């Protein structure tokens, strides 16, 4: 008879605790750019990529590559942070809205 180790309480019978145990990858999209492949291949250290966004535009917050919210960039104690400002509009994201 095989003895299995105890199941941690975070993944036991409570469905909510199972959901809370799932890791989500968050990504922040500052802007977008379309470049010819030839220009991309020529890029090296110090190359500047222009984006379709300005300094005060909202950023996209993605959860597992799916837009979930918009946010504003903040600097806190020499760290970059994002403040959530509103839910994401999937249609705006797909249309490339900044």
Q: With respect to residue 73, please indicate whether it lies within any of the assigned structural domains.
A: yes
Q: With respect to residue 68, please indicate whether it lies within any of the assigned structural domains.
A: yes
Q: Is pTM beyond 0.85 here? A: no
97, HSE (Cβ side, Cα atoms, 13 Å): 11
Q: With respect to residue 83, please indicate whether it lies within any of the assigned structural domains.
A: yes
pLDDT of residue 42: 94
Q: With respect to residue 80, please indicate whether it lies within any of the assigned structural domains.
A: yes
Span 26-50, pLDDT tens digits: 999 999 999 999 999 999 999 999 9
Q: Which domain holds residue 84?
A: 24-95
CB 65 within 8 A of CB 47: no
Q: Domain count of the chain?
A: 1
In CATH, what number is assigned to the domain containing residue 49?
2.30.330.10
The angle subtended at Cα 69 by Cα 64 and Cα 73, nearest 5°, is 105
Q: With respect to residue 18, please indicate whether it lies within any of the assigned structural domains.
A: no
Q: Is the dihedral of CA 28, 91, 36, 72 positive or negative?
A: negative
């Amino acid at each position: 008879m095989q003895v299995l180790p105890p199941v941690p309480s975070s993944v036991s019978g409570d469905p909510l605790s199972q959901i809370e145990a799932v890791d989500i990858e968050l990504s922040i999209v500052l802007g977008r750019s379309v470049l010819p492949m030839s220009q991309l291949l020529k890029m090296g250290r110090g190359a500047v990529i222009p984006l379709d966004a300005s300094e005060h535009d909202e950023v996209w917050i993605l959860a597992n590559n799916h837009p979930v919210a918009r946010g504003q960039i903040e600097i806190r104690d020499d760290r970059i942070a994002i403040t959530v400002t509103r839910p994401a509009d999937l249609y705006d994201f797909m249309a490339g809205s900044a």
